[in-house]
A and B are shown apart, each in its own frame.
Chain A
């Protein structure tokens, strides 16, 4: 399997040098983007479309912590199993339920401030979790343990999306 890290010439690690990724992305895009081939022949336009699509997808995966974690674990032969493994520790599930209750309450009260607080709280939790994932994968090479952390992060991402939807309802 071709690693998305290789595509951008980056080391395969969860901790990411964002600037380096962006610089490499732009460098490659400036060479393969369809805008460079608008006047070229069909063959080159097709090749450009395929490459740019691939580069965009790789960039999206590396920029998104859940997708990056999943990709990295797959490179190490570990399946994160989002779809099949939904068994989470009870304390985590409890915490999730509380957060969701807080969201429902904010929605009912149509409270912007409550949503803002929830969003801020979630941001901190996600940042802490990302640090843990970096330690598990990059330092401890504990891929099985990291898989559970990535699943947790995915739960938080879903909640984040629901908060965004709630903003629209309140708006």
Chain B
């Protein structure tokens, strides 16, 4: 238990008790898994020694699934069933997806999130992402030889609530205990900051395959504080490929292409882009299904010209983040470059010009996010003793609010608010005798609701009838450490209360996740029961350990009968751990959690008292 480690140094877990935790960079183009071994973060390669896993999933008739390189090899041949860049579709409706016309998939505009019809049935982006995560989990468990305690999965800082929720659901679906969703630039800052003992204000310029993030962080001894974040969740390296692709279609005067030719030419365009990083010219050649032969060559100058607006598009969010942070480019001590797309020379030049300093390129831009995530996972799993760990203070990227009369947005939590955060606002009825109110939760910076992202709608019923304006409905927004929102509303003026919690509409209900999990395990011929048992045992063991440390540190805070009931719950859980009934273990875990509820709250108060000891003692 971490609090113990903080208040009582020297209690870090013995090496044999090290918990297996990984960091996962779930990227648009490639994904990686990394872990901390003997104090050093390393990327875990596959059996052939390859560190990257192409984020490509192919569905075959009969239910076989290929992920990574095998899927990539077949994408031009089987474009409809081979899904690449699925991250672009996470938490997105069909109308939000850029370049729909040039994506070769059979989209279904499902409510909330777009879905794709494949040879193995209709798949949601959450399920497709879960296949990638599952392969990474298996890779890690094989390599580390054990069940994972948990994983940190990274997301673009500019991901909204729906996209985050979808990512977390994918993690659950892949059988991962998601310790935390971590913003990609923050992960990169951790890796960079720890490696270089950096202090001061840094910018992280993160141009991934499908997203752009710009974060400003203040690094000081043991604290990583995100001051401002900005970006564009629909701009990335893929767009540069797309520009080259459109250029090629235009130059070769091609008629509209079928899915196969389209994918082929897209792959060739990407290769040309990568070639141009180190060369002045790149060939684009392809034999189309009509027999027509495309034979083009693109030079650096043309490439820079056709992508210039994209490069410029990254600078507007950069300026915005600096403004939000109240800083000038000169006050930034260094710019960390993240994402393979930052290798493009025109990007390097634009960044150097803007910040008037050469960007920092000493970490592999493809790996830095996964490495930072692994370091954070190591801390969250409780593997770091006091003094060696650090504190991470992150923010929400986009304002959260509620629709008010006239389709206007009332911001409740403004962007760049440090998380976790909660804020409440009071609303009232506008009609006499009104017994219900409906709420529309939105995310974004614009005045008009129509220009913001709709996250959820819910109704509060059972308001006692009163005169208009007399009811007092308190709406509370709570954002947790993953940046995920929950909203509750409560009418309190008459003492009659009604409360409701909403999950954004793009998030899957827990029951959905469970069903998909069951389906997928049956599919993979995995033993559901064995898996569940292993997970519950890890969970039970973890809780017992945590409770033991807590009792050792702060047992004095308990009255003897309280202590007795905790001891009893612990004994029960311990007795069940060696058994085979995962449901019974789960119940015992829940019972122990309930028994320690008050104790936990008291320990937290005690922690604060200790924090302030030596300072002026306040009236806590």
Q: Which A residues fall within an 8 A CB radius of B?
A: 2-3, 5-11, 24, 26-44, 46-49, 51-53, 56-57, 59-60, 164, 167-168, 171
Contacts and interface: CB of A to CB of B under 8 A. Distances in A.
A49 B593 contact: no
B594 A43 contact: yes
B620 interface: yes
Nearest to B320: A168
Interface string B281-303: 00000000000000000000000
B113 interface: no
Nearest to A119: B323
B388 to A, nearest CB: 13
B618 A36 contact: no
Given A9-B617, A38-B380, A41-B543, A31 B422 contact: no
B180 A35 contact: yes
B279 interface: no
Between A11, A35, A42, the greatest number of chain B beta carbons within 10 A of the residue's beta carbon is seen for A35
Nearest to A33: B391
Nearest to B549: A40
Q: How large is the interface on B (under 10, 10 to 19, 20 to 34, 35 or more residues)?
A: 35 or more
A42 B612 CA distance: 26
A24 B615 contact: yes
Interface of B: 1-3, 6-7, 19, 149-150, 179-180, 222-223, 316, 319-320, 323-324, 376, 379-382, 391-393, 417-423, 478, 480-481, 542-543, 546-547, 550, 590, 592-594, 596-597, 599-601, 603-604, 607-608, 610-612, 615-620
Contacts of B611: 24, 27-28, 30-31
A37 B4 CA distance: 10
Given A31-B3, A37-B2, A40-B546, A52 B420 contact: yes
A46 B480 CA distance: 10
A30 B224 CA distance: 12
Given A40-B546, A57-B422, A28 B391 contact: no
A33 B421 CA distance: 12
Chain A CB within 10 A, most for which of B382, B418, B419: B418
Given A53-B421, A171-B316, A38 B596 contact: no
Contact of A41 (B392, B419, B600, B607): B600
Nearest to B383: A39
Given A31-B608, A53-B421, A57-B422, A39 B380 contact: yes
23 contacts: A2-B619, A6-B620, A8-B618, A9-B617, A10-B616, A11-B616, A24-B611, A26-B223, A31-B7, A31-B607, A32-B608, A33-B481, A36-B2, A38-B180, A38-B381, A39-B179, A39-B382, A41-B593, A43-B593, A49-B420, A57-B422, A167-B319, A167-B323
Contact of A31 (B6, B319, B323): B6
A51 B2 contact: no
A41 B417 CA distance: 27
A9 B420 contact: no
A83 B596 CA distance: 44
A43 B600 contact: yes
A79 B209 CA distance: 52
Contacts of B615: 9, 24
A38 B616 CA distance: 30
B393 A29 contact: yes
A7 to B, nearest CB: 6
A43 B600 CA distance: 6
A28 B612 contact: yes
Contacts of A5: 618
A6 B618 CA distance: 5
A39 B381 contact: yes
Contacts of A36: 2-3, 6
Contacts of B392: 33, 35
A35 B222 CA distance: 13
A167 B320 CA distance: 8
B2 A7 contact: no
Contacts of B149: 39
A5 B320 CA distance: 32
Given A9-B617, A42-B593, A43-B596, A35 B380 contact: yes
Contacts of A29: 391, 393
A9 B381 contact: no
A30 B320 CA distance: 30
Most buried by A among B543, B546, B604, B612: B604
A11 B7 CA distance: 26
A2 B605 CA distance: 14
B549 to A, nearest CB: 10
B604 A44 contact: yes
B214 to A, nearest CB: 13
Given A24-B612, A171-B316, 10 more contacts: A9-B612, A35-B2, A36-B6, A38-B380, A39-B381, A41-B593, A44-B1, A44-B600, A46-B600, A47-B603
Nearest to B315: A171
Contacts of A59: 418
